[in-house]
Each structure stands twice: as C-alpha cells, then as structure tokens.
Amino acid sequence: MCCEYNIFDKALSRSPAERERVSQPSYEASTDFLSFGEAYFDGPPGIGYGGYSYDGRYSTVVRKACKRYSLVKSSKILELGCAKGYVLFEFFKKKYCNIEGIDVSEYAINSSPKPIRKYLKQKSLSDLILPEETYDFIFSKEVLPHLDISTLERLIPLIIRSVKVKRNILLVVQVAESSFEKEKILSWDPTHKTVRSSIWWRDFVSSFGFTGDLVCKRLFN
C-alpha cells in the first residue's frame, strides 16, 4: 500500500487559483516549449513555468526527506526529471553529495547551479536503465504525467527494483479529477501525456507493488 507523505507540502508553489489567474488559454505552444527548451522554463508569465530561477524554495525539503527516508550524508539519491536541479542543489548544500539527476531537457541541465551540474545527466526516462538495489532514495516531482503509459509501465518496476528500501520512493504526480481539469492542464501545458485521477494513479502504481509515497497534486480545481 502506498502513502501520501509530501516533503514538498510547504515549498512555494502556485495555487490552482493563481495558475488559473495567470494562464493564457489562447497560447499556442512552440516546438521549443514542447521539447522542454527555454520557452518551457523561462518563457513569458502564464505559459508553463513562466520563468524558473533559484529562490531556495526547497531548502526545508531536505530536512524532511532525511527524516522521512532515514537519509545520511553518504546516501545515494536519485531524482528523475530534475529540471534545473534545484532540489538536488539543496541536498548538495547540506553536504549530501551522492546525488544524481536525470532530465531530458538540455536547456534545464545547462541552466542548473554549476556546483551540481556534473551530477545531472541529459537523458530520457523512456529508455532508462537503472542498477538493482542501489539507491537510498528515488524521487520524481511532477514528471510522470509527462510520460506515456508504456514508458510508465516499464519505469515504475524499474524504480522499485533500484531502491534499497522499498518505501524510500516519492512520486509527486499532477492529477485531474474531471474532464474540465484535464482540459485545463493540457491547455496550460500540452507536454502532459498521462493526465489521470488520483484513484487511477494509486491503482496504477499499486499494481506494481509500489509501497512508497505517492502525492497527487491537482493543478486546477
């Protein structure tokens, strides 16, 4: 059975109302946006991130993660879909240096803080290979809904196999509880491929024997 503990719960994040307020429904996504280039992260406000720079918003996340997942400075930590690596940077600043991040976006990785850039790899999760029972903590925040179902069917068991303690996984996923919410998400960010309800996600990961933390986040409601 999976749990819902969320180390990100107090980290600065847009509320559904704020997202609704700034979103630009008539916007047509460029190729650069759709391939997670500069337009995706640092385009004009109201479109995707609308600018994403380091502001320390994840500084409290590390403390919570260490407590929840019993991490020590030498723990091996992997983030799937790390973008600019700002969460891993917080681990690094607290002397957790056994870190790895993977993201498909070359732009995001090239925009990451220099001290951690060598720990980040530009790679797609769709053909990822991970070693067995290697990581002390694997997390992925708001990334899995950007993958198609067949990739997810391959990836979830891979993650479970690759972590040493099976409950030391945190997946944060964007969910839609109605077709209205799903349309809103897709017009806000058409790079989403698997927009489903929280019940769907819970059943999906459970079908692979997932016992980590699954946090379902509604972007619009």
Ligand X SMILES: C[S@@+](CC[C@H](N)C(=O)[O-])C[C@H]1O[C@@H](n2cnc3c(N)ncnc32)[C@H](O)[C@@H]1O
Q: Give contact residues for ligand X (rule: CB under 6 A).
A: 36, 81, 83, 103-105, 108, 124-126, 141-143, 146-147
**What's the rounded Cα separation, in Å, for the pair 171 and 163?**
13
- Shortest CB 132 distance to ligand X, Å: 21
Smallest separation (angstroms) from ligand X to the CB of 135: 17
* In the complex, least distance from residue 76 CB atom to ligand X, rounded to whole angstroms: 19
As to burial, measured by CB atoms within 10 angstroms (0-12 exposed, 13-18 middle, 19+ buried), residue 139 is: buried
Nearer to ligand X, 14 or 164 (CB): 14
Q: Closest CB to ligand X among 74 and 153?
A: 153
Q: What are the start-end ranges of the E strands in the chain?
A: 77-80, 99-103, 120-122, 137-141, 169-175, 213-218
For residue 138 the two structure tokens come to 């694997």
Q: How far is the CB of 83 from ligand X (least distance, A)?
A: 4
Measured from the CB atom, is 70 or 124 closer to ligand X? 124
Residue 50 burial (10 A CB sphere; 0-12, 13-18, 19+): middle
Q: What is the sign, positive or negative, of the torsion defined by CA atoms of 22, 27, 31, 32? A: negative
Least distance in angstroms from the C-beta of 194 to ligand X: 11
Mutual orientation of helices 149-162 and 198-206 as an angle, nearest 10°?
50
CA distance 41 to 122: 16
Contacts of 174 (CB under 8 A, 6+ apart): 142, 145, 185, 192, 195, 217, 218, 219
- The smaller minimum CB distance to ligand X, of residues 56 and 209, is found at 56
CB of 11 to ligand X, least distance (A): 9
- Nearer to ligand X by Cβ, of 36 and 210: the residue is 36
105 vs 168, beta carbon nearer ligand X? 105
3-class DSSP state of 2: coil
Altogether, the residues listed in the chain come to a count of 221
